[in-house]
């Protein structure tokens, strides 16, 4: 049996032998950022976008004093090759490193960077043909939270909401803002389609600027579909003709029910299916699938 290899601070290491400081900021304070990426045919889809987003968040939240993404890019490739993976889920995590004394130690100025990969566990095919059911979470997110819009390792509230959704037979939990605007899913971005217009909350809501979200907006505009990034309410969601979610693992996921309320005809709509096909074609074009 092969030994899983991870990339830790520039070195390929057997996963069972990897060590980080007991004083790492990620462990002590939950301070860190991560990216979850999907590899097809041995290539990470939209790797540049993932690395750019992570670097921008690292600088904005002062998690790293300076960011050079080239070693991360190399590390992703090394991990896929070392583990013999072509279809994979890849995770890149960055923390400020050792924080004894309140600040990262001089010898840890680069922080902690960990890259791991494993076989992809795709969503059930039935969800794409029959649509997902989602739960409206009772939790709220606010524009004054400095971590909103960034993919941080302080993810526990999202996991609690997701577990609650799963306990109710739902695949995702939708978050609203303190102003009762539609924000995002615990692990996804949200779109609705009304009168053939694709609508999604603007990044300033605030929401995570999702990589798959960006791809879908690009595809929609290339196909001359009407797109609006604007504030949405629960009424917009429930009255929509179609609804779908996006993230790098699920790609484009149709939503046909919000709890017990049917969306549209309670089946994946034509625009959702068109965008899903466009996404798959984009993956094929860029990753040679």
pLDDT at residue 102, rounded to an integer: 63
pLDDT at residue 100, rounded to an integer: 84
Residues 147-196: pLDDT tens digits? 999 999 999 999 999 999 999 999 999 999 999 999 999 999 999 999 99
List domains and CATH numbers for the chain: 5-119 (3.30.470.10), 125-287 (3.20.10.10)
| 3-state class (DSSP) for residue 283 | helix
pLDDT at residue 66, rounded to an integer: 77
Distance CA 98, CA 107 (A): 9
pLDDT at residue 26, rounded to an integer: 95
Question: Which parts of the chain register pLDDT below 50?
Answer: 1, 105-109
Q: Give 46-49's long-range contacts (Cβ < 8 A, gap of 24+).
A: 46/211, 46/214, 46/215, 46/248, 46/286, 47/73, 47/76, 49/211, 49/214
Distance CA 179, CA 141 (A): 9
């Amino acid at each position: 049996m092969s030994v899983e290899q991870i990339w830790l601070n520039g070195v390929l290491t057997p996963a069972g032998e990897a060590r980080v400081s007991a004083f790492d900021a990620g462990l002590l304070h939950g301070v860190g950022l991560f990216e979850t990426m999907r590899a097809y045919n041995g290539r990470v889809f939209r790797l540049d976008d993932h690395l750019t987003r992570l670097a921008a968040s690292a600088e904005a939240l002062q998690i790293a004093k300076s960011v050079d993404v080239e070693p991360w890019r190399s590390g992703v490739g090394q991990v896929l090759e070392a583990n013999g993976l072509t279809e994979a889920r890849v995770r890149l995590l960055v923390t400020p490193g050792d924080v004894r004394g309140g600040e990262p130690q001089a010898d840890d100025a680069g922080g902690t960077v960990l890259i791991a990969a494993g076989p992809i566990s795709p969503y059930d095919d039935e969800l794409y043909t029959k649509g997902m059911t989602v739960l409206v979470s009772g939790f709220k997110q606010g524009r004054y939270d400095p971590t909103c819009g960034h993919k941080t390792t302080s993810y526990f509230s999202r996991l609690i909401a997701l577990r609650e959704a799963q306990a109710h037979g739902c695949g995702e939990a939708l978050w609203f803002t303190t102003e009762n605007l539609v924000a995002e899913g615990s692990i996804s971005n949200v779109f609705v389609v009304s009168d053939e217009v694709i609508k999604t909350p603007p990044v300033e809501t605030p929401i995570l600027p999702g990589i798959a979200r960006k791809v879908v907006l690009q595809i929609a505009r290339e196909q001359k579909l009407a797109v609006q990034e604007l504030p949405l309410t629960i009424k917009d969601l429930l009255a929509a003709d179609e609804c779908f979610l996006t993230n790098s693992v699920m790609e484009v996921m149709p939503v046909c029910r919000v709890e017990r309320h049917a969306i549209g005809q309670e089946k994946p709509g034509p625009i959702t299916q068109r965008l899903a096909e466009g996404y798959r074609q984009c993956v094929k074009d860029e990753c040679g699938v």
